[in-house]
Copies of this chain bind each other. A is one copy, B any other.
Amino acid sequence: MTAKAISNALPQRKIGVREKSAETTRDSLLMAAIKVFTEHGFDGGSIDQISRAANSHDRMIYYYFGNKESLFVAALEEIYRRFNVAEAALKLDLEQPKLALEQVVRFVLNYYKTHPEFVTLLNSENLHRGKHIARSSKAQEFSSPAISVVDDVLRRGVAQGCFRSTIASRDLYMMIVALGYFYQSNRFTLSAFLGENLETPEIFAQWETFVIEAVLRTVLTPAAL
């Protein structure tokens, strides 16, 4: 029969024989996985959808990743890696802590806005109570850079006397992330409930301004306000 079965059932899927290197196959499967999991979540996305989107075959996913869960973990790690790369590119002037903090807030809000896969994959992961990320050896190493950026800015501001000294960097980090993440992750239900489309640039801009103000007012000393 040779290739006839599949070409009968899925005629649109013919791929050339050995025309792609291993690296490419693995990569395109991973990209496809991020795309499909972003659109349908872990449960909603199927192995078949992913392999088809990658112009490959189901079997290759098992070859390279073992199973669906491991593929999902790889996808999670990849989007975290990308976030860290983007964050590392952020050049902050620590000598101006107030401005630096504002930049961090802008970066976070805009990163979430332009990278829905980040929000959606984490959303799906939390629906599963974090069971996949718990299996990742790289989980914690990925978070430290993010938090340390906030920590650095905070320390410098305290040292300069413009930031309050009682703020825990973990809380500040979570505040910034929460205000950015929630707006994106819940924009659909929020839009429905508020009767306003949160995806318009105007409303996002207003929110960004508000968040910056809220963060600064929380952190700044009365004198620096």
Interface residues of A (CB under 8 A from B): 1-2, 4-6, 8-10, 21-23, 26, 40-41, 43-44, 62-66, 70, 120, 122-131, 133-134, 136, 139-140, 142-143, 146-147, 167-168, 170-171, 174-175, 177-179, 181-183, 185-196, 206-207, 210-211, 213-214, 217-218, 222, 225
Interface of A is mostly: helix
Give complex CA distance A193, B126 in Å.
12
22 A-B pairs within 8 Å (CB atoms) are namely A1-B26, A2-B5, A4-B5, A5-B22, A8-B64, A9-B62, A9-B66, A43-B44, A44-B127, A122-B189, A123-B185, A126-B186, A126-B187, A129-B188, A130-B188, A130-B192, A140-B192, A175-B211, A178-B181, A182-B182, A222-B222, A222-B225
* A126–B2 alpha-carbon span in the complex (Å): 30
Residue in contact with A133 in the complex, picked from B2, B65, B192, CB distance below 8 Å: B192
Copies in the complex: 4
Given the complex, which residues of B lie within 8 Å of A5, measured CB to CB?
A: 1-2, 4-6, 22, 26, 63-64
Nearest-neighbour CB distance to chain B for A37, whole angstroms, equals: 10
How far does the alpha carbon of A208 sit from the alpha carbon of B193 in the complex, in Å? 25
Most buried by B among A64, A147, A225: A64
Q: Is the CB of B125 within 8 A of A189?
A: yes
Which residues of the partner chain B approach A147 to less than 8 Å between Cβ atoms? 194
In the assembly, what is the distance between CA of A192 and CA of B134, in Å?
A: 7
CB-CB under 8 A from A124, the residues of chain B are 127
Residue of B nearest to A21 (CB): B1
Q: Which of B120, B133, B134, B192 contacts A139 (CB 8 A)?
A: B192
Chain B residues, Cβ within 8 Å of A211: 175
Q: Other CB < 8 Å A-B pairs besides A1-B21, A123-B126, A178-B183, 5 of them?
A: A123-B123, A139-B193, A177-B182, A182-B182, A185-B185
A100 CB to closest chain B CB, in angstroms? Answer: 19
Flag if B188 contacts A133 (CB, 8 Å): yes
**Contact A130/B189 with A8-B64, A217-B217 known, Cβ cut-off 8 Å:** yes
Q: Which of A65, A139, A178 has the most CB of B within 10 A?
A: A178
